[in-house]
Amino acid sequence: MHHYPTLFKQYLQQSGYSTTTQNMLPGCVRDFLQYGRFKGLTEVTPIVILDFYEWLHIRPLKRGEGALSAMMISHYVYALKVFFSWQEASGGISYNPMSGLKFRRGERNSREALGRDEITALFSAAPSIRERVMLHLFYSCGLRRSEAVKLSIRDVQARHRLLYVRSGKGASRRVIPLTGKVAGELTTYLEQWRKGRDSDKSAFMLNRVGKAMSGVSYNHLLKGVVRRAGLWEGITPHYLRHSIATHLLQGGMSLEYVRDFLGHRHLEATQIYAKVGAHQLQQL
């Protein structure tokens, strides 16, 4: 059974999953196989998986005190979903023991930002370049959904590492700087996915049939990523915008900078994120 994590990692690499996912998921599967002491995958049953899931809630940390976080437990669930789906599709098993299982999902405050580990989980659960670009628009660039809908090709100057919001809330305009990694992903999307799909020649983001993405389309695309990441299904594009604001403030950015980054007209609107961030830090 010890060879499965290695084979699983090779599958993740070949399927285009991120490096973070390639390193994280096989380890989760290894822990599960060691827990069950199986002689073969046919011995894995839904009951054993549920027992493992309950055990994760009381399992002590390998380093330090305390137990696993809800987010880490969701990583284990996601790892097992991907692993057994792969085994079923490749003929390794005839029955997927994960199918039909339901796992608890925690509720969260509507003003609570996502944790950095949750953001990492979202990107890890987004193997396609279109999904990763969608995450970058709302998280890395902090766009409103309406701004993403209106975004055109000419607004994205990846070579110069700039993104222009020409019709923000209240008819405001702003320029968003892009990191090298984000600019690279946007360039890859334009050159490898967007190129040749000319049903809508101006829109930056297109749906699968080549039409401009609508707000509903963005919600649907994000929901698929959220579901694969095993996170709370109530996460919307605004959660990502909210989260980057909180993370920038926690990282030491000034309120004035974050206000301009988000396109807020008044500093009071930005201060909401500072208050939420402080509240979350007190709970760590």
Annotated catalytic residues are 144, 169, 238, 241, 264, 273
Reduce the secondary structure of the chain to three states and give it as a string.
Answer: CCCHHHHHHHHHHHCCCCHHHHHHHHHHHHHHHHHHCCCCHHHCCHHHHHHHHHHHCCCECCCCCCECCHHHHHHHHHHHHHHHHHHHHCCCCCCCCCCCCCCCCCCCCCCCCCCHHHHHHHHHCCCCHHHHHHHHHHHHCCCCHHHHHHCEHHHEEHHHCEEEECCCHHHCCEEEECCHHHHHHHHHHHHHHHCCCCCCCCECCECCCCCECCHHHHHHHHHHHHHHHCCCCCCCHHHHHHHHHHHHHHCCCCHHHHHHHHCCCCHHHHHHHHHHHHHHHHCC
